[in-house]
Amino acid sequence: MSPATQYHSINNVDIEHAPDGQSDKIPRQRSSNNEPDGNPDSSSGLDPEATAHDSSLSRFEGGGHSQELRLGPGLLNQERLAIKFLSWTWEVVLTALPLFFFAISILALRLDEQVRSTSTYGPTIEEITRLSPTIYPVLFAMIAARFYRNAARWHLERPGGITVASLEQIIGSSSFASALERLFIIRTQPILGVLILSTWAMSPLGGQSSSRLLRIDEKKYRSKEWIYYDIRNQENSTFYDMDKYTYGPADIIQALYPSCLFSPRKQRQSSMDLLGRPKIPQWPYDSMQDIEETAWRMVDKNALEAGIDYYTSLIGINVQDLNLSGSSTLYEFEVESDYIGFDCSFIGRNVSDLEKFSFHEYDTRNETTLADIFADASAGDRRPSSFVAALEEPIIISATPHMLYTSWSDGGHYYVLNCTADNVNIRTTLACTSQGCSPQRQLRIRNPWPAIAEGWRHHRRLYAFQNALAEWPRLTYAREGLASATENYIADDDNVFADQSWQNWTEFDTKVFSRRVTTAFNTVWHAGLDWYNVTKSSLAVPEDPSKLWTNKTEARITRTEDAYYVNRFWMVVLMLTTTILQVLAVGGLVLRYLIRGPDILGYASSLTRDNQFASVLGGSYLDGAERARSLRNVRVQLADVKPEESCGYIALNVVPFPASAGGDSEEGKGENQASGHMEKGRMYA
């Protein structure tokens, strides 16, 4: 058997190959369906699935040789049942896939304003919207390409047919780029081309709208709850009973006060104390201002952080029942507190002035001088200091008391300041988050001295005040000739325990002096009011808060959490594009059901249909894919099929066998001469 005969033995079909002029002498041989499987000619040719389609005779003709291939008759759509079932199942599934994006839109709408952390399916919708710019165009391309292909096939089977230009425009619109290309190349169907392009434009629009369907933003929840804080202005000071102080909380106060002074400047100027409790700013009290002022003032937090404004004490208030586990929870509430504010002025500097300042010590009725106070404070004191403070008894019970502050200086000089002690009651609005609390605004509450006007409580308070002033210098003792840590703090030194020499107060601003004296002394005063709880910072509520000198206040709670928000504009766009996609999907399925003929559009194997130069007869019922499987080993070529004539003719023809198969035999040469290569200068019909 010649190489050509071996190559064209297709699907058990025998091919006759005879020399020139002898083809009529050789009878046509039918394919032997009963031929044993060992026939060498049965190993090449058509797909086994196509054997039922093939006739018993095939012949190629051309170039002096008589050759042709015939495909037998068959029924339309005669695939196996399993293939049909899988094919139609996929068609139905593809038609239903756009409903997925309708469901995503509905689920996203249900997520609107839902908290992200509590949503069960929110993260899944998030992931889908992230992948949508990739998924949606792929799905759109599958459905739209199927629709236009089926539309072209359906129009092709209509009684009136379809114009070639329209057919080319529709069948070539398998993507936006190809539809645009066909619009400019064909140029005869602009309306149809623009309509097809407009549908393809929905693909990127739908993908982008699905990715913009959801956004994550903050959502605020507002509620109110009761919280508790210390009531220090109603507690008895430990300084009222010095024996109890000495054998009780003295160690606590003597450790806490120096620790507050020793803390870094940033800590002293922050809104939280060492134990993480909120500090209260001083009221900008001026003795010349209107005492009837009742307006709220906003707290200058920048001035507090810069050290321009000051806190009432370096010890904050203990606030309980704050649930700050969430990083976005905000508590806003008001607390009432009081402190002793000092307004100081210089009244003397020389040693002789100490004997001139005589006054009555509270509760003793004994007249004394500052010289005596200094002698008592310095001689044999176990904890010496560089200053002393004494309380002058008020003339009347309701009068404001005075503190005489006396500081050592070099050269045998002293600085004497007279400080008016005013009881300042304020209401402060605090804002607390998990990062800490900060003051927002304040209101001055005008109460006389003391805050509670009963005589016995007034007496206890003044007596404790006097003892606290006497104990205050001893809490930070200093070596001889050196300033104490308290005075170094008042002088605004960075390191208060650096053994600085005596301070020179000559040029020091008395307003700043008064503010810093207020902060330093009230740190001691507040520590003595609640000595056993002053080091506690628990936010938990005790079982019976009323028994622990606590007050309650209503807190406004704002919880900010991430929530889902639906962009309704993009949701409408997604619904519109998906509706168009669903119409294309249903239309493609319906057209697929209505189509009866084979799918021959766009297949290279279809070029062999009814082609006299291809010499492949029959098989008109085959789809392009089935025909390609049947002719899978047949070689085709676009060539000049009339090379011997003066005017050539370009057509697709079947190559009898590869050039290498023919070798140099006369038979191979004859068949190669049946067609020629195309030339640029040659005329073609």
pLDDT at 74: 67
323 and 278 together in one domain? yes
Q: Is 681 inside any structural domain?
A: no
Instruction: Select, from the ranges 18-27, 254-263, 529-538, 653-662, the one with the highest average predicted confidence (pLDDT).
Output: 254-263
Q: Is 268 inside any structural domain?
A: yes
Mean pLDDT value of segment 251-265? 88
pLDDT at 62: 39
In the structure, what pLDDT confidence band is assigned to residue 384 with cuts at 50, 70 and 90?
A: low
pLDDT at 544: 58
281 and 385 together in one domain? yes
pLDDT, tens digit, 9 for 90 and up, residues 402-412: 888 888 876 66
pLDDT at 373: 64
Q: Is 684 inside any structural domain?
A: no
User: CA-CA distance, 159 to 423, in Å (whole number)?
Assistant: 106
Residue 368 has pLDDT above 50, yes or no: yes
Residues 6+ apart with CB under 8 A from 660: none
634 and 505 together in one domain? no
Residue 301 has pLDDT above 70, yes or no: yes
561 vs 130, residue with greater confidence: 130
pLDDT, tens digit, 9 for 90 and up, residues 73-94: 766 777 788 888 898 899 999 9
243 and 350 together in one domain? yes
241 and 375 together in one domain? yes
Average pLDDT, the chain: 76
Mean pLDDT value of segment 324-335? 82
627 vs 419, residue with greater confidence: 419
Q: Is 661 inside any structural domain?
A: yes
Mean pLDDT value of segment 229-246? 76
Residues 6+ apart with CB under 8 A from 502: 386, 407, 408, 409, 410, 481, 482, 483
Q: Is 46 inside any structural domain?
A: yes
User: CA-CA distance, 585 to 582, in Å (whole number)?
Assistant: 5
207 and 258 together in one domain? no
621 and 578 together in one domain? no
Are 580 and 574 within 8 A, CB to CB? no
pLDDT at 633: 81
Residue 98 has pLDDT above 90, yes or no: yes
pLDDT at 360: 58
456 and 472 together in one domain? yes
Q: Which residues of 199-234 are buried (b: 16+ CB within 10 A; e: fewer)?
A: bbebbebbbbbbbbbbeeeebeeeeeeebbbbbbbe
515 and 500 together in one domain? yes
User: CA-CA distance, 533 to 348, in Å (whole number)?
Assistant: 40
Q: What one-character-per-residue DSSP string does 495-564 give?
A: -TTS--B----TTS-HHHHHHHHHHHHHHHHHHHHSTTTTT----SPPS-GGGGTEEEEEEEEEEEEEEE
Q: Which domain holds residue 491?
A: 223-560
* Crossing angle of the two packed helices 190-200 and 176-186, in degrees rounded to 10: 170
Residue 40 has pLDDT above 60, yes or no: no
Mean pLDDT value of segment 153-172? 82
473 preceded by a cis bond (ω within 30 of 0):
no
pLDDT, tens digit, 9 for 90 and up, residues 102-135: 999 999 999 888 888 888 888 899 898 899 889 9
In the chain, how many domains are there?
3
Question: Helix or strand or coil: residue 103?
Answer: helix
Mean pLDDT value of segment 567-596? 91
User: CA-CA distance, 325 to 238, in Å (whole number)?
Assistant: 35
Q: Is 396 inside any structural domain?
A: yes
Q: Kindly compute the dihedral angle of the four CA atoms of residues 327, 333, 337, 339, in this order, to the nearest 10 degrees.
A: 50
DSSP 608: G
- With residue 391 as reference, give the H or E element that holds it: strand 387-392
pLDDT at 608: 78
168 and 200 together in one domain? yes
